[in-house]
Structure formats: structure tokens, C-alpha cells
Amino acid sequence: MTYFYSHLFASEPSARAMFPPAMDTQRIRFYQALRRVVSVSDNDGQLAAYLEGLGRAHRKFGVQKEHFYPVGQALAATWQRYAPEAWTDAAAAAWEDLFSRAAQLMISAAERDAEQAPPWWLAEIVTHEARSADLAVLTLQPSQPLPHLPGQHVSIQTPRWPRLWRHYSIANAPREDGTLTIHVRAVPGGLVSGTLVHHVTVGDTLLLGAAAGSMTADLTSQRDILCLAGGTGLAPVKAIIEAVIRAPGTSRRREVVLYHGARHASGLYDQPDLQRLAASFPWLRVIPVVSEEAALDAIHGTIPGVAAVASWTNRDIYVSGPDEMIAQTVRELKVRGAPEELIRYDCPLF
């Protein structure tokens, strides 16, 4: 990936301005995106959905359709440099076809999106609440409506770190006033998360990218719901629960069971608000889970451990949290026979 970006910036110097000075995270994400494109290349529906989302997301970087040609050339050069024995005429032709399809899907999606939405939104911080030494809950007021579905995330850029975008899930269903709430934990070395927790205040402005993400509330279903959330993975699950509670015209109330996990009891940062939500909606059960200490009124264990015993039969299942937690939890659910089509979790875009 270092060779790829060096080749790209040498052939298209203007592209360098789209990226942050530190490229480590970007290189990893781009490689993961390439792997995903190749893995779903035989499934037209999945390929289109993923790449159209990427095309819309890349608008905030200032990507134009003329940038795709040098990217394709740099990728081909990287392949030839590091796997020359695999760069056969057949492989080259197949890659050119796949890249051409991918580029066109992204370009078309970006052009359609440009007809109805800006590439990014300005948003003012209207509340900033510290819930612990390393976690804050922020409410943002976009300067114009930012459409989103319950369970989606937005990318955020702070003035302190230009061109550095990070994803944060929206913790509420759409509101009449258009505000968005996010839960942010400052991670070690996290430039954006540390800024959002420790250095911004009410009245500051941020840049937001368009909402994205496929783990959204299915409000047409009549099945009960199981939510398995770790840490700030609570945010999108909370938005989904809010949407289910508000949903009109349902023939029955859907029981919602939420397990929220943390390492320590102090990590159960939203428990008072969740209890208020449960008090107003008797069909919601909130069960805290703590893994590294005994905690009052909490299960001792992990979210993947809960998945091994929780009742999932005929339920829509939402899983959210750190990537490894999601992977372990989904594996556990599948081992127990949970239908894959009922398990919902998200893979973030750039």
C-alpha cells in the first residue's frame, strides 16, 4: 500500500491534498476495501451496494471521476511490482474489467448523490457531556438537514485535524429538529476521538459526511429483537430501539432485549438513560454485562459469551461494537444455528 500511494502521488500530485499527513490508517482501510471488492466481485448486488456507498462517501474528499484512472494505473503497477508471476494476460484483463465496473459504480453513485446532497455538512456542537474520563456524548446541529436511518453512522472531521475523517454512529432515530447525538470514546493515539472528548466545546463546528451503513432498523418486521452491544457500539443500537418504539401501525408490540457490555461498571455510561427508556417502554429489557469485575445488577461475562446463551429464536438480531467483538459474537450465533439473514451488523466505509 505504501508503494501504491507513492505511485499515485507521483503520477497525480494533486491527489495528495485529499489525504492526511499520517497515512497508516488510510493504507489499512484501502487494502481492506480492495479485499472486500474482490471477495464480492461475483455478487453483483453486494458489489453495487458496497461501491455505491463508497462513491457517495468519497465526495467529501473531493474525489472527481478523472481521479479513477491514475488509481487504476497505480494499482496495476503495484500488482506487477509485488506479484509479477500472477500478472498474466488473463489476470490483467479480469482486473481491468473489475476495476472499470467498480469505478463506474462509484462515479455514477457520486453523480446521483450530488444532485440532492452536499459533499459534507457543517455542524455545531450544542451539548457536550463528559460521561467518564475518556468518554463523551455530543449533540450536533447540522446547518442543513442530514438524512439518516436509525443505525447509520456519519464521518466526522475536526478543524484540529484537517482531512482526517473518523466514523461515529448516530445514537438517535431522526428528530424533528435534525440534531444528531454521538457517543465518543477517546482511544489511545486517536487524534479525532481525543479531540472530540477532550478539546471541543459547545459552539465549536465540525464537518460531517453523509450518513452511511447497512445495519438499519427493519420497521416492517414483526419479530422480537435481540440487541448485543459492546462499549460505544450501544449508539446505533439505541437509535434502532428508539425507532422501533416509535414505529406506528404495528399489529403487536415487539419485545426488545438489549445486552450492553463493558469491561468495567464505569463503562456502562448510558445506563440511566437506558433505564428511563425502559420505564417508558415496558417491552424493553436492558441487561448490563461486565467482563472484568463484579458489578451490581449486571451479568458477569462478555457479549460473545452472552450470545452463546441468549434467546434468539425468531428474533431480529443486531450486533454492534468493536470489530473483534462483532466477529466473535456473529460466529457464536451462527454456531448455535441463528439464521444468517436475521443477524445484522455493520462494516464501516472510509
- Domain at 224-344, CATH class: alpha beta
When computed from its CA atoms, the radius of gyration of the chain, rounded to whole angstroms, is 21
Cα(171)–Cα(185) distance, integer angstroms: 14
Q: Say yes or no to pLDDT of 47 above 70.
A: yes
Task: State yes or no: pLDDT of 165 exceeds 60.
Answer: yes
Higher pLDDT, 286 or 25: 286
Domain ranges for the chain: 2-114, 121-208, 224-344
pLDDT of residue 349: 42
| Arithmetic mean of pLDDT, 217-231 | 96
Q: What is the pLDDT of residue 350?
A: 36
What percent of the chain is predicted at pLDDT more than 90?
Answer: 86
Q: What pLDDT, on a 0 to 100 scale, did the predictor assign at position 347?
A: 64
pLDDT at 250 over 90: no
Neighbours of 221 (CB within 10 A): 15
Query: How confident is the model over 85-96, as pLDDT tens digits?
Result: 999 999 999 999
CA-to-CA distance for 192 and 156, rounded, in angstroms?
8
Mean pLDDT computed over 245-252: 74
Tell me the whole-structure pTM to 2 decimals: 0.89
Which residue, chain included where needed, has cell 506479484? 83
Q: Which three cell numbers stand for residue 182?
A: 454521538
Name the DSSP letter for residue 59: G
pLDDT tens per residue, range 135-155: 999 999 999 999 999 999 999
- pLDDT, the chain, mean: 94
Domain 2-114 has CATH 1.10.490.10: yes
Per-residue pLDDT of 183-220, as tens digits, reads: 999 999 899 999 999 999 999 999 999 999 989 999 99
- Please state which architecture CATH assigns to domain 121-208: Beta Barrel (2.40)
pLDDT of residue 251: 54
Measured distance CA(58)–CA(106) in Å, rounded: 9
Q: Which residue has the cell 482531512?
A: 163
Task: Report the pLDDT value the prediction gives residue 167, as an integer from 0 to 100.
Answer: 94
147: helix, strand or coil: coil
Q: Is the pLDDT of residue 97 over 50?
A: yes
Distance CA 138, CA 180 (A): 8
pLDDT digits 0-9 by tens, 277-321: 999 999 999 999 999 998 888 999 999 999 999 999 999 999 999
CB 236 within 8 A of CB 346: yes
**Phi–psi pair at 260, nearest 5 degrees:** -115, 120
Q: Whose grid coordinates read 442543513?
A: 144
Q: What is the pLDDT of residue 25?
A: 86
Is the predicted pLDDT of residue 174 greater than 90, yes or no? yes
